[in-house]
Structure 1
Amino acid sequence: MKNIAIIGFGVTGQATLRYFLEQAKNNNVSDSPDGIYKISVFDSKTESDFEDVSKEIDKYKTEGVEFNFEKTDFVEDEFDLIMVSPGVPLNLPVLLRAKEKNIPIKNDITLFIENWRNIGAGKIVGVTGSNGKTTIVNLLYKYLQDSQIDSIMAGNIGNSPLDILGGFKNKTDNESDVIVVLELSSFQLEAFQPEHYLDVCLISNLSSNHLDRYNGNMQKYADAKMNGIDPQKTDVVLCADDDGIKKYVLPKIKNKKVSLISFETAIDQVGQKGIYMDSENDLVSKDSDLTKKVFTRINDRRLLGIHNLYNIAMVYGVLDFLDVDLKNDETIRNFKGLEHRIEFVRELDSVKYINDSKSSSPTATKVAIESLTKEKNIILILGGNDKGMNFEVLIEPVSDFVEKIILLPGDIDKKIIKTLSEIVEIEKVDNLVGAVKLAREIAPKKGFVLLSPAATSFKLYKNYEERGEHFKNLIKGL
């Protein structure tokens, strides 16, 4: 008998449970002679919070799974393995006690990597950073697919890689070439140990985000982002123009294979390998003394904004390490971006409504503001829950381009008012319905209404997708 505790029963916890039940069904249980798991699920939420999966919970109970809602502390000695979801802090008392007793603590990503290595399958690419992860992962995956390269996309984008392991039980020649592209948050990377290294690690940028989890310490946040890097085995892609990368990441990188992305430094003055912009504004790949253009006519693309040009360059940096032919630029040009990220919803009475619900940090909101206009004609809807972030990064773009802020409920309202009220008018509303109603009344002609909350929505919505869908439905109903 192998006893397993799963803390957190969201998307990741449910995928983890499915994985272990499938393993038990197939009697594929290492270190468990009788091939049986005893699984206990713990979550701080009430059972009624999981009404949408109540039928599944009832089914799991008949299969012997024990559910403990409104509870995340238990006797750690009763378990051989503790699985944690990304939102579960690793300083929970039960986890600290388990660590002292060398009881293994893993998450779905580390468990996947262990299994993937054991079956000898293909390379693992990890994409992390404060902003841009999802765009990069989706564009990279699309490029690989369009290049007829077998690949899998999973992680923080909403699906666990454990769900795809069932089809890869035994290595075959074809499976050894499958590339796994993982979007990784700092929370997921916290559980990484040296054996969980990535073959390629891309860190897009670094800004104050989730600092409530790291006691306001940016270096601890950066260190978590670097947890998947092995100095000898990992190829690293970094944006050398990003202040956070320059301050907190580059000084600690000892890897021999590093690709630097820079638009600000002349090619002959930078590192041995990377993607740069030449005097003709073309993207150029450099490897030692060899250079070649990889993306010309940079304005001929659907993915607009300088931030997205950096995202494109970083994708090329990863592809270069994977030895993928860099000639398929039509995939790059035609990629139109992601739902809930600077997403055009509707134009009504000469006002454009933009859904940027995915932006849960001030830096992401800054990018959204600066990508829309060169005039002061934006009605900005923001607000939500604080993650210990610094909102001073919004002072300049708000001053230049925002006519008024509509503030949603949340615990960042005081911080936003303190930081921005002297440069722009701010009006508080009770909910998103009120925000849209007010925005409709005051939006300037040929202007924009931008939902870019710069904060999480944990108390108002399940996730940014639900928040974004609500906004889009409200706009379509005007």
Structure 2
Amino acid sequence: MSVIASDRRTLVVGLGATGLSCVRYLSGKDRDLAVADSRAQPPGLQELRDQFPDMPIYLGEFDADTFAGFNELVVSPGISIAEPAIRHAAHQGATIRGDIDLFAEAADAPIIAITGSNGKTTVTSLVGEMAKAAGRKVAVGGNIGTPALELLGKGADLYVLEVSSFQLETTHELNALAATVLNVSDDHMDRYDSKMDYFQAKQRIFNGCKNAIVNLDDALSTPMARDNLRFLCFGFYRVNPETFSTRDDEHGTWITFGFDNLILASELGLMGSHNISNVMAALALGHAAGFPMEVMLQTAREFKGLPHRCEWVRQVAGVDYINDSKGTNVGATAAAIQSLAPDNGKIVLLAGGDGKGADFSPLVEPVRTCCRAAVLFGVDAGRMAEALGDSIAIHREDSLAAAVSRAADIAKAGDRVLLSPACASFDMFRDYMDRGNQFRQLVEGL
């Protein structure tokens, strides 16, 4: 790339898929552009060199003086803006941005934005399917699938984005048509000083928002700033105007809007009561965007969910095996346990991994009331066992294979063996998908 002379010097910090998308996007702008990554061989390095052979690249330990030479840093979500070199550049006057901030500046269609500790990928995917069924030319991506900047310029009339707290840290105004913080539970406590810091990062999704979708069952879902915001709400057993909720009658549990019954929970394609909440959130987001209600409800009937998210694998000797490997934090696992507890049996929980500094104590009550036993593995198995105490029979295993075998021995007909680790996977697996795929293979071998 021939560098265009400019007084706007931009450093893309962090490579990978997001960093590459930033480079591609910014390379067409009037920027003096360079890339930095703390790794010697970051993913996407060869692709960067092939496409931009003249691009300056700084690899290895971040250098504060180098960073201070740029007046704009575009930071990938995997890199904390608390890094000393980034903080030094900010103190020298550099603007700190991210890919979602760049996207919001350039977006040529309305944005629906979803964040939350749990459920955001399911809700994002479901809203995307609702939009397609409604005849919208929708582009779905962000923290899942296609990086946000690569969605631009392809004729979309609606964007549906999953956004993470890391991405929101560097987003000034998203200006979404509709946005939601689905829920907030302890996650990424290895990156944030407190749950409040994590909450405040999530809250940035509402900056410039027109319609705030609020979870009445989680106080941390409510926007702190309310000026010029229309509220649409959802929550269990909170029937009110402008609210998606639930009520029970002789037919079962209904999802409602206002005072009208919409759909029975038993008609949904998704499994577990926490997914009733996800469907309510998706309906609220779609309603704010003007999707026809009947189209949304039919999509909710047909949508079967995503791999590794409360995914039924098979039944063996009367025991259901469920893959919730995407349950990578305490809140997700607690919700899965409570949602999937069988009427005439118990859960045998498979959990453990890298807890990312989280507090495991919120698992105690759902485990005590819903589980027959917990089979723990991974680097934080001991810490989790200590938190659970004597609330349940606990077994420790050195591998997932041994854990599955132990769970099969413990479970009785009518039980469910649930892999929902409450932890990240990187201590033993490539990622949560690798963990879930290995679980599937082990269950198929029983």
> Does TM, normalized by the shorter one, top 0.5?
yes
Aligned: 1:283 with 2:250: no
Aligned: 1:149 with 2:140: no
- 1:11–1:158 contact (8 Å) kept in structure 2: no
Aligned to 1:190: 169
Offset from partner CA, 1:254-290 (integer Å, 9 cap, x none): 44411111333342xxxx632233565543334xxxx
Partner Cα separation in structure 1 for residue 350 and residue 207 of structure 2? 41
Q: Which moved more, 1:439-448 or 1:257-266?
A: 439-448
Partner Cα separation in structure 1 for residue 191 and residue 260 of structure 2? 42
Aligned to 1:15: 21
The one-letter code sitting in structure 2 at the alignment partner of 1:203 is V
Aligned to 1:139: 126
Partner Cα separation in structure 1 for residue 182 and residue 47 of structure 2? 37
Offset from partner CA, 1:229-266 (integer Å, 9 cap, x none): 236x5210011122543xxx356544441111133334
Match for residue 102 of structure 1 among 93, 109, 127: 93
Aligned to 2:303: 335
Partner Cα separation in structure 2 for residue 356 and residue 154 of structure 1? 22
Aligned to 1:260: 233
Aligned to 1:172: none
Match for residue 428 of structure 1 among 396, 418, 435: 396
Aligned to 1:171: none
Q: What SS does structure 2 have at the residue aligned with 1:283?
A: strand
Aligned to 1:362: 330
Residue 353 of structure 1: CA displacement? 1.9
Partner Cα separation in structure 2 for residue 310 and residue 345 of structure 1? 23
Aligned to 2:185: 207
Match for residue 83 of structure 2 among 92, 111, 136: 92
Partner Cα separation in structure 1 for residue 354 and residue 290 of structure 2? 42
| TM-score normalised by length of structure 2 | 0.89
Aligned-residue sequence identity (percent) comes to 29
Partner Cα separation in structure 2 for residue 317 and residue 18 of structure 1? 35
Partner Cα separation in structure 2 for residue 277 and residue 255 of structure 1? 28
Partner Cα separation in structure 2 for residue 406 and residue 298 of structure 1? 31
Aligned to 1:56: 47
Q: How many residues matched? A: 434
Residue 204 of structure 1: CA displacement? 1.1
Offset from partner CA, 1:413-448 (integer Å, 9 cap, x none): 343122113112222222323323333444333432
| Structure 2 CA distance for partners of 1:66 and 1:462, relative to 1, 3 Å | farther
- 1:375–1:401 contact (8 Å) kept in structure 2: no
| Structure 2 CA distance for partners of 1:327 and 1:405, relative to 1, 3 Å | same
Once the two structures are superposed, the pairs formed by residues 211-230 of structure 1 within 5 Å of their partners are 211-216=189-194, 218-230=195-207
Q: What SS does structure 2 have at the residue aligned with 1:226?
A: helix
Aligned to 1:384: 353
Gaps of 5+ in 1: 169-174
Aligned to 2:374: 405
Aligned to 2:264: 297
Aligned to 1:457: 425
Residue 15 of structure 1: CA displacement? 2.6
Residue 102 of structure 1: CA displacement? 2.3
Offset from partner CA, 1:315-345 (integer Å, 9 cap, x none): 1211221122111121111111111001112
The one-letter code sitting in structure 1 at the alignment partner of 2:356 is K
Q: Which moved more, 1:105-114 or 1:11-20?
A: 11-20
Q: What's the RMSD between the two structures over aligned residues?
A: 2.5
Q: What SS does structure 1 have at the residue aligned with 2:159?
A: strand
Match for residue 36 of structure 2 among 28, 41, 61: 41
Structure 1 runs of 4+ off > 6 angstroms?
A: none
The one-letter code sitting in structure 1 at the alignment partner of 2:29 is V
- 1:261–1:317 contact (8 Å) kept in structure 2: yes
Offset from partner CA, 1:390-428 (integer Å, 9 cap, x none): 322211221122222222222x33431221131122222
